[in-house]
Structure 1
Amino acid sequence: MSGNFVNGSVRIADEILDQIAVGAASDVYGVYYAEDQDKNFSFHKKNPRSKVEKIGQNLHFNLSVNFDRDINVRKAVKDIQESVKNVVENMTGISVTRVDVSVLNLEI
């Protein structure tokens, strides 16, 4: 993603946008992250993952997350969507039109 400014231009790599989205999703209560897990689990499969797509001048995120036990999934997904949208837009100034969330696992 790139943009022009008065004194030059900036390009933000998709990987950075994905990292921002994962950070925002990880801050939501109940989202599983490596530091919260037992060492026997495969961390890279448990951490939130993101894939960003540019559609026109807007961004569309596809996130995959795992939730801890006793979590209100509906509320957590809504919180993730709002958090990712707000954080990405505030940090980059790029409009986020959609945040799709796939729940891969619910720890019981």
Structure 2
Amino acid sequence: MDDIADMEYELTEHGTVHIADEVIQIIAGLATSEVEGVAGMSGSFAGGLTESLTGRRNLGKGVRVEFTENDRSCVIDISVVLQFGVNIPDTSYQIQERVKNSVESMTGLSVARVNVQIVGIVFQSEKERVVDADQFERAERNPQL
């Protein structure tokens, strides 16, 4: 699979349509954020810095798209932060289904896979505090933190 700048469709003899991977990232990001139990998306440090400097929400944050040019299909990787107490397998399945259905219906692309990576948990009483695996292990070893 190759990352390409956009996906091109030859619709008719009148021309082609290009779909930028950023469009698919936004569709997948919005679909994911609509799933109950998703607290947020996790992106790169650079993406978070850009978002905080510009004040604009990055709707494609935490989403990576890879295209297979011949198959007109893609694989979508999503990194999410979930709310504490949700059923992780059920929530992940809902994310996969919603993203697949949204991308396929809006773009005509076939979504081969939606890979969900849980990168953190937000506690209900501490909405601002995200706990990742390293923080969780440190807290278990030293409960006074």
Q: TM-score, normalised by structure 1?
A: 0.83
Whose Rg is larger?
Answer: 2
In structure 1, the residue matched to 2:74 is 59
Structure 2 unaligned segments of length 5 or more: list them: 1-6, 42-47, 50-58, 124-145
Q: Identify the match of residue 31 of structure 2 among 24, 35, 57.
A: 24
In structure 1, the residue matched to 2:52 is none
Structure 1 unaligned segments of length 5 or more: list them: 35-43
Paired residues in the alignment total 98
- C-alpha distance in structure 2 between counterparts of 1:49 and 1:33, whole Å: 9
Superposed CA offset, 1:2-35 (max 9, x none): 101113211011111111110111110011138x
- C-alpha distance in structure 1 between counterparts of 2:83 and 2:23, whole Å: 26
- C-alpha distance in structure 2 between counterparts of 1:12 and 1:19, whole Å: 12
Q: Identify the match of residue 87 of structure 2 among 72, 78, 83.
A: 72
Superposed CA offset, 1:72-101 (max 9, x none): 111000000000000000000000000000
**Larger relative CO (CA 8 A, sep 6+): 1 or 2?**
1
Amino acid at match of 1:8: G
Dislocated runs of 4+, deviation >2 Å: none
CA RMSD of aligned residues (A): 1.9
